[in-house]
Every structure is written in C-alpha cells, then in structure tokens.
C-alpha cells in the first residue's frame, strides 16, 4: 500500500501553522480526525488507517496546535478549530466518510449538524466533549482558564507544563485512561509520545485542552442536541474498559435514536490505537450495513 506525507499551511490569528497530512489507500475518500490531547497526532491513527486503506482513500491530518511539528503561540479556542475543520473539508478532502476520535468528535458533530452531508457518514471513536479537568471536577471552574493562560508564560509556564507531561505522569495517565495494557506505552512508543509533548509550542494548545478551554460545548444537553440534529445514523464505537465518567457520556450519546453503537470487548480511550484490527472490523461492518450506508430498504 502506498503512503504519502505532506505538510500544509494554514493561518490562525494571522500566524502561520504547518500541519502534517498522511494519505494511503484507494476507493471512496475517508477522513480520519485524531483526538485532541497532549500526546495525540495523526500517527495514532496509522495502524487503523492502514487497515481502512484497503477499502478507502484515507486522509489523516493533525489539528492546529497539536501534531508533531513546531507550533506558534496562539490563543487556541473552539472557533479556530471549527474554522480549521471547514478548511479541511474545502481544501484538503471532501470525504464520503469521516471518523473522529476523542475531542474531535464534538467538532465533527457540530459540523455535521450545521452543514449536513459535509462530512459524509460519521463515525465517532470514544467521543468526548469535556476536557480532563472539567470532567474530573464535574464542572467548569474559572481557575482552569487561568491555568491555561499561565502556561503561555515564557519561563514559568513552560516549567509548569513540563511537570504535567513528564514520563511518570504520561505513564500514569496512559495506564489509567488511555490503554488497557500497562506495558503498551513503553520503549519507542513512549519516546514517540514524549517527542510530541516536547515539540516547540506544544504547551499552548495542549493545556487548553486539559483545562477545557477547547470544549466546544459547555453542557451535555448542548452536546446531545447537536448530535440529534445530525441527519442519518451516527456510528459510535467505544471500549468496554473506558473510564467511568467518560463512558457515562458515551452511553448518554448511545441513547439517541440516530446513533448506532458498538461497544468493543476491550479498550479504553485510545482503543483504536491499541486494537486497530478490532476497530477496523467494527467500522467496516457498520459502514457496510444498510442502516449506515444511506441506502434505501
């Protein structure tokens, strides 16, 4: 299977942002949107992308402020990410299918609700709508926003950020929330994730995600209301071992009439990275079904 790598330019608040794009496969176009987190890049989609590439012409792309390239200091906020997704859909690919993971799901839902059909069929992998700190606290707090701004400071901010993305902290969070196998994120995988967190400018978007400053929705009701407005069936996949609070939000989404849900027998928040075969099988099966294909009975 042939792979291609590309770097594209985009502007946020007038600042040039360079973003990595990976393509592979042939067939109908499929867009992969990785999660927004301190250790996320399009590469977390690579194993899944290789499997989907046997059936689709796939494109995976990094989010601004994330990825593996240097990032400018920008006041990253939801409006910029919604604007970026519009750019992707007009200038990078026009997908028949979009698969969004983690926090990318909220932006995908809003896009699909406001501009029906622009994403094609929509699949959500372990979707979240609220950042880690608001999820842990059960609410948004003014302190979180102040912490996000503090990380922008040139010396103290960088040091504070470093305390939150060192090897022990990443390992602890990965074992608790992200991967089922405690040994999965070791060796070269851990080194790769560390390189992501250490890229120049990484702290500005990363900590805004952690503190909830990149949350497109402020309440569960708003999040579910957007999902209800999406025409056609939404495919929802998540792992049985998903952390309790996040799993409750996914279960709430699963109750909607226009959501078709598959719960995999293993996996946490990054089940698609740890178990790409299981994920690809579930996705391809659902996309082939009449219910999600858009075909009439």
DSSP per-residue codes, 89-126? HHHT---SEEEEETTHHHHHHHHHHHSTTTT-EEEEES
Residue 15 belongs to a domain: yes
Q: Model-level pTM?
A: 0.93
For residue 153, report the phi and psi dihedrals to the nearest 5 degrees: -60, 140
What residues have CB less than 8 Å from 270, skipping those under 6 apart? 35, 44, 101, 102, 126, 178, 179
pLDDT in tens, 187-230: 999 999 999 998 899 999 998 999 999 999 999 999 999 999 99
Residue 156 belongs to a domain: no
Residue 135 belongs to a domain: no
Confidence class for position 297, pLDDT limits 50, 70, 90: very low
Residue 16 belongs to a domain: yes
- What does the alpha-carbon distance between residue 155 and residue 88 come to, in Å, rounded to a whole number? 34
Residue 184 belongs to a domain: no
Q: Is 153 left (phi over 0), alpha (psi -120 to 50) or beta?
A: beta
Taking residues 21-42, report their average pLDDT: 96
Quote the domain boundaries for residue 49. 3-129+216-293
Given a cut of 60, whether residue 2 has pLDDT beyond it is yes
pLDDT in tens, 239-280: 999 999 999 999 999 999 999 999 999 999 999 999 999 999
Packed helices 156-164 and 202-210: angle between N→C axes, nearest 10 degrees = 60
Given a cut of 60, whether residue 133 has pLDDT beyond it is yes
CATH of the domain at 279: 3.40.50.1820
Domain count, the chain: 1
pLDDT at site 295: 40
pLDDT in tens, 53-103: 999 999 999 999 999 899 999 999 999 999 999 999 999 999 999 999 999
Given a cut of 90, whether residue 292 has pLDDT beyond it is no
Residue 75 belongs to a domain: yes
Residue 57 belongs to a domain: yes
Residue 197 belongs to a domain: no
Q: Which residue has the higher pLDDT, 183 or 280?
A: 280
């Amino acid at each position: 299977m042939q792979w291609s790598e590309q770097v594209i330019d985009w502007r946020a608040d007038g600042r040039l942002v360079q973003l990595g794009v990976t393509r592979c496969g042939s067939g109908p176009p499929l867009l992969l949107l990785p999660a927004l987190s301190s250790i996320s890049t399009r590469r977390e989609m690579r194993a899944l992308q290789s499997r989907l590439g046997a059936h689709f012409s796939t494109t995976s792309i990094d989010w601004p402020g994330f990825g593996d390239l240097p990032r400018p200091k920008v006041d990253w906020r939801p409006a910029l990410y919604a604007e970026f997704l519009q750019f992707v859909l007009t200038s990078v690919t026009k997908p028949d299918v979009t698969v969004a993971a983690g926090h990318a799901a909220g932006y995908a839902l809003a896009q699909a609700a406001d501009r029906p059909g622009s994403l094609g069929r929509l699949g959500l992998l372990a979707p979240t709508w609220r950042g880690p700190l608001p999820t842990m606290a059960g609410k948004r707090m003014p302190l979180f926003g102040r912490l996000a701004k503090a990380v922008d400071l040139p010396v103290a901010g960088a040091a504070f950020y470093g305390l939150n993305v060192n090897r022990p902290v990443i390992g602890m969070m990965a074992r608790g929330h992200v991967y089922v196998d405690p040994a999965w994120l070791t060796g070269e995988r851990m080194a790769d994730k560390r390189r992501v967190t250490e890229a120049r400018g990484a702290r500005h978007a990363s900590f805004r995600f952690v503190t909830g400053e990149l949350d497109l929705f402020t309440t569960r009701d708003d999040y579910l209301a957007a999902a209800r407005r999406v025409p056609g069936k939404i495919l929802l996949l998540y792992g049985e071992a998903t952390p309790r609070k996040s799993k409750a939000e996914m279960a709430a989404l699963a109750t909607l009439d226009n959501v078709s849900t598959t719960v995999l027998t293993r996996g946490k928040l990054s089940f698609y990275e740890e178990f790409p075969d299981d994920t690809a099988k579930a996705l391809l099966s659902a996309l082939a079904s009449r219910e999600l294909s858009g075909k009439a009975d």
